[in-house]
Amino acid sequence: MKVALIQMNSGSDKAANIAAASALIEKAIVEERPDWICLPEVFDFMGGSRAEKFAAAEDFPGGPAYSAMQSLARKHGVFIHAGSILERIEGDPRIGNTTVVFNRKGDEVARYRKMHMFDITGPDGQQYNESASMKPGDAVVTYDCEGVTVGCAICYDIRFPLLFQALMDKGADMIALPAAFTLQTGKDHWEVLGRARAIETETYFCASAQTGTFTQGNEVRATYGHSLVVDPWGLVVAKASDGPGYVASRIDPQRIRKVRSMIPVAQHKIAL
């Protein structure tokens, strides 16, 4: 199975973001002919004010980002793991940071809402308070991609191994992690966390990232980029540099089986 990870520099113009995502997907399809494509976290809208975020959130199904990715999946006959989209939640004052996945026919096959909220103070003193506007999910989600079981996670989830153990228990062969990692944390933690999650679950780890700067209120913030594919042995087999674009690689089920036969972690797990 061939995969392509889309790397973007999204901002607060939703129509422009959807157009950029669509153009990068079309480019990757022409040049690489992938079976499965992943977009970054909140590819449809980054930054802006709280009010603008809420205005940009959309209903599922039928919103502009949802519909655009569904149409592209159907048009090109590919799986699209649509990063995450700002989701309007009926009856709730918060919005969802939500992945939607489409199969080759454009059917929705999975939906995952980010569990862990990014409420931290960064090394540069910038404060992030995702829980003030985002509603966390509570479901561990996997789906079948033509014999490859894909587990869902988003960005800050990467720091919580129990979620990845739960995905492993549900049979994940590959884990998709759309992200918008900060520059400050990304340069020190991004790759090592991705490799750790791949090693401990013995899965392929595919992470599509935001790159570059965006404006949040009156602050200019920076994301790290470096979208990457890590194999089940923990080797980085593909990695993007800076700037929008994509990176492609292959998922080899035999590689998964070989690693798991050498170190059968799943068989050695004990209940604590």
Which active-site residues does the annotation give?
A: 41, 114, 155
DSSP 90-158: TT-SSEEEEEEEE-TTS-EEEEEE--S--EEE-TTS-EEEGGGTB-------EEEETTEEEEE--GGGG
Whether residue 256 contacts residue 203, with contact meaning beta carbons closer than 8 Å, is answered with yes
Q: What angle do CA 32, 38, 40 make, to 5 degrees?
A: 125
Provide the b/e sequence for 69-87 (b: ≥16 CB within 10 Å): bbebbbebebbbbbbbbbb
- Where does residue 117 rank: exposed (0-12), middle (13-18), buried (19+ CB within 10 A)? middle
